[in-house]
């Protein structure tokens, strides 16, 4: 990974607060959203597959406040104040991997997960599927490593070493496989 990438996120950026029905209720800094038990805010997760049907995983940067060094889905982030989901996902595709991809919305869900004294995620997360058909250039400020994995091998890794993965990734993958399998099958073989 090169050193030409810019820092693309900060604890000061304003995130969108939502209620349980995903209606906007206000704005708060990312730091405040993740303090203590967390404040419910809008987020998104992208699952990107190559032409062989392998899922791109990212290892979160060691500088991340929550779950540093954990493996996760291709991209996970937040729309910012006054930013649509379409604009936010396009921004993060470029900021984290320097790519473009058409995305298919699958579902949304809310979850809460604590990371010890460092804080918590409390998110209403929109989950998307997409494809990668060219080279990627991971931003080292966000991502320390990337790899592609076949769905069956990922299932084995979850069974053997669940503690190396982010909690939202595990929840989302299980929901995709159990409740949205037809959409998932258009991107990979299960």
Q: What is the pLDDT of residues 104-116, one digit of tens each?
A: 999 999 999 999 8
Residue 62 lies in a domain: yes
**What is the secondary structure of 80-130 as a DSSP string?**
BTT--HHHHHHHHIIIIIS----EEEEEEEEEEEE-GGG-EEEEEEEEEEE
Residue 117 lies in a domain: yes
How many separate domains does the chain show?
Answer: 1
Residue 158 lies in a domain: yes
Residue 111 lies in a domain: yes
pLDDT at 6 over 90: no
Residue 9 lies in a domain: no
Residue 168 lies in a domain: yes
Rounded CA gap, 52 and 143, in Å? 23
Residues in the chain: 190
Q: Which domain holds residue 93?
A: 14-185
Residue 141 lies in a domain: yes
Average pLDDT, rounded, for the chain: 93
Paired residues of 25 in beta bridges: none
pLDDT at 3 over 50: no
Quick one: pLDDT at residue 10? 65
**Domain with 181 in it: what CATH number?**
3.90.79.10
Residue 8 lies in a domain: no
Q: Which residues are catalytic?
A: 76, 123
Of the listed ranges 5-9, 115-119, 164-168, the least confidently predicted one is 5-9
Quick one: pLDDT at residue 113? 95
């Amino acid at each position: 990974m090169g050193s030409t990438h810019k820092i693309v996120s900060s604890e000061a950026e304003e995130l969108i607060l939502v209620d349980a029905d995903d209606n906007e209720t206000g704005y708060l800094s990312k730091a405040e959203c993740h303090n203590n038990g967390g404040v419910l805010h809008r987020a998104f997760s992208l699952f990107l597959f190559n032409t062989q049907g392998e899922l791109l995983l990212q290892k979160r940067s060691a500088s991340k406040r929550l779950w540093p060094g954990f493996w996760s889905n291709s991209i996970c982030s937040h729309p910012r104040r006054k930013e649509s989901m379409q604009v936010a996902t396009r921004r993060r595709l470029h900021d984290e991997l320097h790519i473009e991809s058409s995305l298919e919305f699958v579902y949304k869900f809310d979850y809460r997960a604590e990371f010890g004294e460092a804080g918590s995620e409390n998110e209403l997360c929109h989950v998307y599927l997409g494809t990668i058909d060219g080279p990627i250039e991971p931003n080292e400020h966000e991502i320390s490593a990337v790899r592609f994995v076949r769905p069956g091998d990922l299932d084995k890794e979850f069974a053997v070493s669940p503690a190396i993965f982010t909690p939202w990734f595990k929840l989302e993958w299980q929901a995709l496989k159990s409740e949205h399998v037809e959409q998932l099958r258009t991107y990979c073989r299960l």
